[in-house]
């Protein structure tokens, strides 16, 4: 399938694109014009778009859309709102208009019921609002909420569901593998999962 990936040049996104290709899918990398795409590989289709100002038609031709982007830990709350909340919501709306078969959201532990006293309160609230927008969109969706991410590849030994340790870690490689599986796993439709690496 053709899979549009928002955040394709990020630490998780690069791993995701490679795993999608290995699984036989055709990734479309949604990137800003200023992004370094040298690690994506020549076989990956590049589509330019900025999550702070997405143009209509950006999802055309995609079977599945994956939101794996983020404003990053070094940006302020305004960029968190523009990318993690508003950018995600805009991409969801455009995906719905394009009749994509599924939208996969990379969310975060804590986004289900954000703790206002958390250091990440603003970020988690933004993710919460994006997740709720997806649930209400009418799209076939999967929401993956990993715990704290590490830059490891992981070994595929993961846990999904209520038994996940909220204070644990999830390897970015494992997260990418779960997102890849979420593209066409029929049993995951309309589900939200917590995730960690064992």
Candidates 67, 123, 141, 188; catalytic one: 123
141 included as an active-site residue: no
- The Cα 163–Cα 77 span in angstroms is 31
Q: Which residues are catalytic?
A: 123
């Amino acid at each position: 399938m053709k899979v549009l990936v928002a955040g394709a040049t990020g630490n998780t996104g690069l791993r995701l694109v490679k795993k999608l290709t290995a699984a036989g899918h055709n990734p479309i990398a949604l990137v800003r014009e200023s992004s370094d795409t040298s690690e994506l590989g020549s076989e990956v289709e590049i589509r330019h778009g900025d999550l702070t100002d997405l143009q209509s038609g950006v999802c055309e031709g995609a079977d599945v859309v994956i939101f794996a982007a983020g404003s990053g830990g070094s940006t302020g709350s305004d960029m968190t709102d523009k990318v993690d909340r508003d950018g995600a919501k805009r991409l969801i709306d455009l995906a719905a208009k394009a009749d994509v078969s599924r939208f996969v959201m990379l969310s975060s532990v804590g986004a289900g019921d954000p703790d206002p006293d958390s250091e990440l309160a603003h970020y988690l609230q933004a993710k919460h609002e994006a997740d709720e927008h997806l649930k209400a969109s009418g799209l076939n969706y999967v929401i993956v909420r990993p715990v704290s991410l590490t830059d490891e590849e992981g070994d595929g030994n993961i846990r999904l569901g209520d038994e996940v340790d909220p204070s644990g870690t999830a390897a970015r490689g494992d997260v990418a593998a779960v997102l890849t599986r979420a593209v066409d796993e029929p049993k995951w439709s309309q589900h939200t999962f917590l995730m960690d690496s064992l």
